[in-house]
Homo-oligomer: A and B are copies of this chain.
């Protein structure tokens, strides 16, 4: 079950500063893995505000249902319990029971209400997750939580990930300097019988839950909602954002349109983009990181759909794996997207090389230049629809034999 680290992994990890009001402990609960941490407990100071976005799946996991209800109950957070090895998804009544019992367990250990506890699980689908797995583990973890240890926290929630994904930014609101730290896991939308993109972001800014939620929702649209490894959507995707308000002199923000938020919003969006790109770079079997740009579409929604049609096309992705500047497949993917497009207005670039224009091969096109671009680790594909003014970008990876091997050769 161990795979070589992705060739697209970062060469080094940033040092994440502590964030006032955020403390961690990891533990080995033996849920599925042995000799590795599989539980993460985060304890948050009183007054922490929460926001979250979740999978659009019609079959969400029990923890996703729980978090949605917890957010609706007021958006206050005191703790987060995450486990890897079991997704507690499609586990029926027992799954709901486990969620309730483990939230109660955390609430008791931390001293808060169950609705202030957020839960996330990643791993096997359909396998019951006995709440006894957390017996003693949560209590002990609650006693030794400490600031710092971000990389360990990121490691505890990994499943088929080949590297931990962390990011940090700072930004000013008024005179105060705030920190934002985040980590994520995810390698396929679902890895062999395991699930999910999970991401947790923390800041010491003092922002009320509704404002936090508005910023998060806007931020994911151009980051986590704009990435695709294999077009498959997990039942457990969860992204939570917590604001402790503990930074010195941090002004209280309640309106997402507050102009003092500009720099913070940019830093948050940048961090979300960074984390989402790391998820793609750890895509199962990935060797190439691909940006698909669509411009001059009729609407932004059309641009997004065309970009995703390209990014999800098995034939485009296998061509990229083969370092093949196969622009005919881009035409095919534009054509099947079902969005306004006219063959005779299309232009296509690989990197800086325009390979097709006005519905046919670019007469001046250099096959060598296009092929050189395909040999890079970072590929940029640009499509000009020529019908409007809207543009969008999405990111994906190539489709290799390793993807099939990871997902088809065995069941873990």
Chain A residues with CB under 8 Å of chain B are: 55-60, 89-95, 124-128, 188-190, 193, 195, 230-235, 312-315, 318-322, 324, 326-329, 331-344, 346, 356, 358-361, 398-401, 403-405, 407-411
Within the complex, which residue of B358, B408, B411 is in contact with A92, where a contact is CB–CB below 8 Å? B358
Are B343's CB and A410's CB within 8 A? Answer: no
Are B315's CB and A232's CB within 8 A? Answer: yes
Are B399's CB and A126's CB within 8 A? Answer: no
- The prevalent SS among residues of A at the interface is loop
Are A332's CB and B59's CB within 8 A? Answer: yes
Are A126's CB and B328's CB within 8 A? Answer: yes
Kindly report which residue of chain B lies nearest to residue A127, judged by CB atoms.
B361
- CB neighbours (8 Å) of A324 from chain B are 408, 410-411
Q: Provide the bound-state CA to CA distance between A263 and B231, in Å.
A: 42
Within the complex, which residue of B231, B328, B336, B346 is in contact with A313, where a contact is CB–CB below 8 Å? B231
Q: Provide the bound-state CA to CA distance between A232 and B64, in Å.
A: 32
Within the complex, which residue of B128, B190, B337, B358 is in contact with A332, where a contact is CB–CB below 8 Å? B190
Q: Provide the bound-state CA to CA distance between A83 and B203, in Å.
A: 63
For the complex formed, measure the closest distance between the CB of A371 and the CB atoms of chain B, giving whole angstroms. 10
Q: Provide the bound-state CA to CA distance between A326 and B410, in Å.
A: 11
Given A92-B359, A326-B411, A411-B324, decide whether A190 and B315 contact each other with a Cβ distance below 8 A: yes
Number of copies: 2
Given A59-B343, A193-B328, decide whether A90 and B232 contact each other with a Cβ distance below 8 A: no
Within the complex, which residue of B91, B322, B336, B403 is in contact with A409, where a contact is CB–CB below 8 Å? B322
Are A231's CB and B341's CB within 8 A? Answer: no
Between-chain CB contacts (< 8 Å), 13 pairs? A59-B346, A90-B346, A90-B359, A90-B360, A92-B358, A95-B360, A124-B328, A190-B315, A190-B328, A195-B328, A232-B333, A314-B407, A319-B407
Closest 5 pairs (CB-CB, A-B)? A125-B328, A92-B360, A57-B335, A59-B335, A318-B408
Q: Provide the bound-state CA to CA distance between A241 and B405, in Å.
A: 42
- CB neighbours (8 Å) of A190 from chain B are 315, 328-329, 332
Besides the contacts A230-B314, A232-B313, A319-B411, what 17 more A-B pairs have beta carbons closer than 8 Å?
A: A56-B338, A59-B346, A91-B361, A125-B329, A231-B314, A232-B314, A234-B332, A235-B335, A321-B404, A322-B407, A322-B408, A322-B410, A322-B411, A398-B408, A399-B404, A399-B408, A401-B404
Kindly report which residue of chain B lies nearest to residue A316, judged by CB atoms.
B232
For the complex formed, measure the closest distance between the CB of A359 and the CB atoms of chain B, giving whole angstroms. 5
Are B314's CB and A58's CB within 8 A? Answer: no
Q: Provide the bound-state CA to CA distance between A328 and B91, in Å.
A: 11
- CB neighbours (8 Å) of A327 from chain B are 126
Q: Provide the bound-state CA to CA distance between A233 and B409, in Å.
A: 28
Given A235-B332, A331-B235, A410-B322, decide whether A58 and B126 contact each other with a Cβ distance below 8 A: no
